[in-house]
Amino acid sequence: MTLSFLPINANEMRSRGWDRVDFVYICGDAYVDHPSFGMAIITRLLEAHGYRIGIIAQPDWRDSRSVSVFGEPRLGFLVSSGNMDSMVNHYTVAHKKRHADAYSPGGKIGLRPDRACIVYGNLIRQTYKHTPIILGGIEASLRRLAHYDYWSDKLKRSVLLDSGADIISYGMGERSIIEIADALASGLSVQDLSFIPGTVYRTRSLDHLPDDAIRLPSFESLQKDKLEYARSFQMQYNNLDPFSAHILAEEYPHSVFVVQNPPSKPLSTRQMDEVYALPYERTYHPSYEAAGGIPAIKEVKFSLISNRGCIGECSFCALNFHQGRIIQSRSHESILAEAERITQDPNFKGYIHDVGGPTANFRIPACSKQTRHGACVGKRCLSPKPCTSLRVTHKDYLELLHKLRELPKVKKVYIRSGLRFDYIMLDRDKSFMHELVEHHVSGQLKVAPEHVSDTVLKIMGKPPHSVYEHFSNEYTRLNKQLGKKQYLVAYLMSSHPGSTLDEAIELAEFVRDMGYNPEQVQDFYPTPSTISTCIYYTGVDPRTMKSVYTAKTTHEKAMQRALIQYRDPKNRDLVREALEKAGRTDLIGYEKKCLVKPKANDVNQRKRRKNGRHSSRKSRKTSR
């Protein structure tokens, strides 16, 4: 029995003197009480507000009794798939089953169902017909309205309808979950909770909505016309900012509406500090020790979360739908206090593995306007060109890193979260780049140029390739100046919308000129609620409604990926096929610029033709 963790069964509940819990939290992840896990933040926050929480981690979805460990909760069930979307957790982009689950004991696969939110919600409803069910987490958040589902290749309804749940707390749910809990505790019915920012609910009437609420195209119209979905998606994208967003309503058959309230306001620095000061155990529940623990803790145990939100707005990323564009940061004091706690861990070896967030070097809002009026609708801070109002500075981040390096027991402080190299290049003060290379790289620095074609990069929302080349040259120069041998590892993506075989070959030539075979290659994965996924499904960019080519067949996607990893012998046939199809046979041969050699039978035929010509000349000479 471990009273330091929240109870995971009825005996632990009773040992606390409780006869009932207020909320049961059901999750697709194993129970890890660390602030990198959404389950830990939400349950500890509710505990801090006086609520009694019981946790059922990875219940057996084939047995309805598995969700009845604590009986019926007083206020409701909280349901999350976990830190990852359950389908991404289970399947590769090629629809193949993954072999491990980092969020399960010993990495064991198969302890959560596909579409976990839907399965768990319906499992609860088998026994508890009227108990409120609140969905949260990344899976519910990104499926809160109609969405394209890559795994079934279909448009799906809001997860709220298919799960049997009552309400979704979307995005970073600290504000909304407390409002929901307090409203239920006050005696309000879950059906009355139509007023909470950061939530989605169902209703049969829109009479209560204000005049400026937006009616999205109906689900039936989205099913009939993909372009309607593109238009609907853009309406959603234009209403993601908590300061300017309108209420959105989406109609379904039989006069059912799913209504999305505007997002919750960002947390202040003080509020973020309070969240990260909660009494986390910072590890997995001891009941998993015999199975080998939870692998995912290794990546975060000695890491520090510094910020939230991202001004980058990469088209293939759902952060804008989940965390938003307004940067929220913890204070130095809060982060240093957590770092000092880390150094007391008996397994700490002196290395802080990361100080970051979605993007490590974003510590302040993009401009002063954002804190008063929110992020601009229809404009990006960094793409296609940096906004003239963009504030570019690493001063605060550098000061934080200095303080962390000076802590007793700390040998090194690394940065492993993503860095926006274009933002670094915009900073006129070059101190950060210098200190990054000198102090904060662990052998290799991973950055994400993603592609080299400016056509593709523009669709991705990434800077032109010339910016990456500038960064790469500066990184090389500084390493040489400082006498260090640290490598730059480029994350690259194949088959992103906009990439034809021509662009894929352009990327392959870049890889050739780098001189090594990249390991960090990702096929574009069409996950819910990203611009790139919308393009993949509809064939148009929702921002412009212009057509965009997208590789969709498994074979073409395989060719594009093979081109990036053309040095791998098993890819040679695909590479040759791609080059022939694109009319680039100049890259098949023995010259230095070539990507692949001719097929063996082609070589043999050439030799036979050559030998034939030689024999013919020899016979003519003999006949003379």
Cβ(76)–Cβ(131) below 8 Å: yes
| Mean model confidence pLDDT for the chain | 94
- Greatest distance between any 2 Cα atoms in the chain: 113
Angstrom distance (rounded) from CA 451 to CA 184 = 49
- For 337-378, the pLDDT digits (tens) are 999 999 999 999 999 999 999 999 999 999 988 988 899 998
Specify the CATH class of 10-202+254-260 in words.
alpha beta
Q: What is the pLDDT of residues 46-94, one digit of tens each?
A: 999 999 999 999 999 999 999 999 999 999 999 999 999 999 999 999 9
- Whether 334 shows a pLDDT value over 90: the answer reads yes
Contact call for residues 517 and 575 (beta carbons, < 8 A):
no
Alpha-carbon 231 to chain mean position: 24
Query: Is the pLDDT reported for residue 617 higher than 70?
Result: no
Helix axes 531-538, 226-237, angle to 10 degrees: 170
SS3 526: coil
Q: What are the tokens at 478?
A: 């500084």
Assigned CATH topology for domain 299-420: Transcription Regulator spoIIAA (3.30.750)
pLDDT digits (tens, 9 = 90+) for 207-251: 999 999 999 999 999 999 999 999 999 999 999 999 999 999 999
The residue ranges of every structural domain in the chain are 10-202+254-260, 299-420
Q: Which residue has the tokens 């610029």?
A: 593
The CA distance from 92 to 109, in Å, is 13
Q: What is the DSSP string of 250-266?
A: EEETTTEEEEEPPPPPP
pLDDT at 611: 56
